[in-house]
Structure 1
Amino acid sequence: MLDKITPLILTYNESINIHRTLQNLSWAKKIVVIDSYSTDETLNILSSYPQVEIFQRKFDSFAEQCNYGIEKITSEWILSLDADYVLTDRLIAEIKKLPLEPEVESYKVRFKYCVFGKPLRGTLLPPRTVLYKKEKAIYQDDGHAHRVSVKGKSKLLSGYIYHDDRKSLSRWLWAQDRYMMIEAKKLLETATSELSLGDRIRKQKIFAPIIIFIYCLIIKGGILDGWRGFYYAFQRVLAEILLAIHLIEAEKLKT
Structure 2
Amino acid sequence: MTAQLPVTAIVAVRNEAANISRCVQALQQAARIVVVDSDSTDDTALRAEAAGAEVVQFTYAGGYPKKRQWALKHLDIATDWVLLVDADELVPAALWDEIAAVIASSSPCSAYLVEKGFHFLGRRFRYGGFSHSAVSLFQRGVAHFEKLDLSEDSGLDMEVHERLVVDGPVGRLMTPLIHDDQKGLTAYLDRHNRYASWEAAARLRFLSTGRWGTESIEPRFWGNTQERRRFLKQIACRIPCEPTLWFLYHYIVRLGFLEGRRGWIASRIRAQYIANVRAKMYELRLQADSAAGTEAADGC
Map 1:72-91; keep pairs closer than 5 Å.
72=75, 73-91=77-95
* Contact 1:85 1:161 (C-alpha < 8 Å) held by counterparts: yes
How far did residue 254 of structure 1 move? Answer: 2.1
Task: Tell me the secondary structure at the aligned position of residue 163 of structure 2.
Answer: strand
* Contact 1:63 1:146 (C-alpha < 8 Å) held by counterparts: no
More helix by share: 1
Residue 2 to residue 108, structure 1, CA distance change in 2 (3 Å)? farther
Q: 1:148 aligned to 2:164?
A: yes
CA distance in 1, matches of 2:278, 2:195: 12
How far did residue 150 of structure 1 move? Answer: 1.7
How far did residue 101 of structure 1 move? Answer: 3.1
1:136 aligned residue (142, 148, 156): 142
Task: Tell me the secondary structure at the aligned position of residue 15 of structure 2.
Answer: coil
Q: 1:201 aligned to 2:239?
A: no
1:112 aligned residue (113, 117, 125): 117
Deviations 1:161-201 (A, max 9, x none): 12112323332233222211121111111147658443343
Query: 214-223 vs 121-130, which deviates more?
Result: 121-130
* Contact 1:202 1:240 (C-alpha < 8 Å) held by counterparts: no
- 1:5 maps to 7
CA distance in 1, matches of 2:28, 2:252: 38
- 1:183 maps to 199
- 1:163 maps to 179
- 1:240 maps to 274
CA distance in 2, matches of 1:113, 1:85: 10
Structure 2 residues not aligned, in runs of 5+:
151-159, 212-229, 290-300
Residue 179 to residue 44, structure 1, CA distance change in 2 (3 Å)? same
CA distance in 2, matches of 1:231, 1:101: 46
1:254 maps to amino acid:
A
1:161 maps to amino acid:
L
How far did residue 227 of structure 1 move? Answer: 1.7
CA distance in 2, matches of 1:254, 1:20: 45
CA distance in 2, matches of 1:150, 1:236: 29
* Contact 2:112 2:172 (C-alpha < 8 Å) held by counterparts: yes
RMSD: 2.3
Deviations 1:22-61 (A, max 9, x none): 22112223201110111112112112123x1111111346
CA distance in 1, matches of 2:282, 2:270: 19
- 2:48 maps to 46
Normalised TM-score (structure 2) = 0.77
Residue 121 to residue 90, structure 1, CA distance change in 2 (3 Å)? same
CA distance in 2, matches of 1:119, 1:6: 27
More strand by share: 1
Task: Tell me the secondary structure at the aligned position of residue 127 of structure 1.
Answer: strand
* Contact 2:6 2:30 (C-alpha < 8 Å) held by counterparts: no
Q: 1:253 aligned to 2:282?
A: no
Map 1:207-246; keep pairs closer than 5 Å.
207-246=241-280
Normalised TM-score (structure 1) = 0.89
How far did residue 111 of structure 1 move? Answer: 2.3
* Contact 1:136 1:151 (C-alpha < 8 Å) held by counterparts: yes
Map 1:61-80; keep pairs closer than 5 Å.
64-70=66-72, 71-72=74-75, 73-80=77-84
CA distance in 2, matches of 1:114, 1:235: 14
Residue 61 to residue 28, structure 1, CA distance change in 2 (3 Å)? farther
2:35 maps to amino acid:
V
Residue 67 to residue 175, structure 1, CA distance change in 2 (3 Å)? same
Aligned residues: 253
Map 1:27-46; keep pairs closer than 5 Å.
27-46=29-48
